[in-house]
A and B are shown apart, each in its own frame.
Chain A
Amino acid sequence: QVQLQESGPGLVKPSETLSLTCTVSGGSISGYFWTWIRQSPGRGLEWIGYIYYTGTTNYNPSLKSRLTMSLDTSKNLFSLELTSVTAADTAVYYCARGEGWFGGQYDPWGQGTLVTVSS
């Protein structure tokens, strides 16, 4: 079955760029919305955005100015870059496969990776 695995640094300094990758195994990138969601005690679950398998993106307006998502179909992975991070970006970051309207039916999810923003 399809499995997703996040990878990337667990610690990022303020004002720097947070970069994460999600590797998809057991299935194809085609036909789905590849989504990033984060969770923190203060903000709960927050939809970050998605990249459709065609390369079309849809970002949360609250993050749009700092956010870039990309897709590498040859390696079956997708990535997130969030610039100019602050402590408010500290969270567990999940990747998920989405389908349905706006890709809102997330299944499966990665296990999540904790990213802490601190000097």
Chain B
Amino acid sequence: EIVLTQSPGTLSLSPGERATLSCRASQSVSSNYLAWFQQKPGQAPRLLIYGASSRATGIPDSFSGSGSGTDFTLTISRLEPEDFAVYYCQQYGSSPLTFGGGTKVEIK
């Protein structure tokens, strides 16, 4: 089973700043099948990025994903008030599918 480690655990930033979130896999993720999700309190997660770098439908271009192999990054170029949330990565290249522990982006 692939273990995903997200860092940092919490990121304290101000609106307008750039956020860089990391997701590291314990082994290479097949074909870069890595997704990112955003979750706000009381809500289900929402798909942001799939295939490491493809934005899901309706996701603004302020969100971008990059990386390959074992190291992946989610970047939010300019934080809007609605972007403060918890972000999870998930690999779907091998079964069982696994999630990271999450990074909370909070208002500084």
Contact = CB atoms under 8 A, between A and B. Distances in A.
A94 B44 CA distance: 8
B50 interface: yes
B90 A45 contact: yes
B35 A105 contact: yes
A91 B99 CA distance: 16
Interface residues of B, number: 27
Interface in B47-104: 47, 50-51, 56-57, 88, 90-99, 101-102
A105 B97 CA distance: 11
Contacts of B93: 101-102, 104
B97 A104 contact: yes
Contacts of B56: 105, 107
Given A100-B51, A104-B35, A109 B45 contact: yes
Contacts of A112: 44
Contacts of B46: 107, 109
Nearest to A95: B44
B97 A102 contact: yes
B21 to A, nearest CB: 15
Given A44-B99, A44-B101, A46-B99, A100 B92 contact: yes
A110 interface: yes
Interface of B: 30-31, 33, 35, 37, 43-47, 50-51, 56-57, 88, 90-99, 101-102
9 contacts: A44-B102, A45-B99, A47-B97, A60-B96, A61-B96, A102-B94, A103-B92, A106-B47, A107-B47
Interface of A: 44-47, 58, 60-62, 94, 96, 100-107, 109-112
